[in-house]
Amino acid sequence: MKRDASVIALAPRRAVAELQARSDDELMRLSSAGLLEAFSTLVRRHEGAVRGFCARLLGGGASGDDAAQDVFLEVWKSRTRYQSQGRFRSFLFAAARNRCFKELRSRPATPIVDDHQIVDASDHLETFLADERRQQLDQLISRLPPKLRDAIWLRYAADMQYDEIAYIVKRPVETVRSRVFHGLSRLRKSFGGSSEGQGR
């Protein structure tokens, strides 16, 4: 703890550089000891990914930004209870997922997209990741059953590994792999695309 206390006494530029070199778990430990700059470093490190993840789950707009702020506020409040196991990113995205699903459950049901609004069937999934078609893909993903939708969002929107997703959803890795595979299969059917391998 002596070394940790020395971070506070460093010149500001050097202190920031020292904090940026720390792992997420070390930063959470410093945050739980009351070092606000350590938590600010964590926020800067992950806010783009969390904001993007929340925006994709909630359909974009300001609700994604609001959700991301709520997530970091919740993490700050629970910082003293965080168990350092090298899984901060999984912990953070589990909090983001829970926050977004809480909001989605409180929303009124929205109508399903008409078939004529769905993009050309001959394109592959990768084509739909382009900006002009991302909204249509998001609509199709949102129509998947929740277990498949979660796996797809966490795998591709949050760019998480299978073991990280398994930790978040509290299921075995093989179950997560299966959910991603079946989710992609359903999306390909919706697009009428090929049955290429399941991706990464």
Last residue of a domain, one of 59, 76, 107: 107
- Among 44, 76, 107, which residue terminates a domain? 107
Residues in the chain: 200
The domain containing residue 46 runs over which residues?
Answer: 12-107
In tens, the pLDDT along 43-71 reads 999 999 898 888 888 877 778 889 999 99
Number of domains into which the chain is organized: 2
Q: How confident is the model at residue 105 (pLDDT cuts 50, 70, 90)?
A: confident
Query: Are the C-beta atoms of residues 190 and 137 closer than 8 Å to each other?
Result: no
Give the number of other Cβ atoms within 10 Å of residue 167's Cβ.
20
- The CATH number of the domain where 150 resides is what? 1.10.10.10
| pLDDT for the residue numbered 160 | 84
How far apart are alpha carbons 156 and 167 in whole angstroms? 16
Q: Which of 92, 107, 122 is the last residue of a domain?
A: 107
Predicted confidence at residue 43, as pLDDT, reads 93
Q: What is the pTM of this model?
A: 0.59
Residues 137, 178 within the same domain: yes
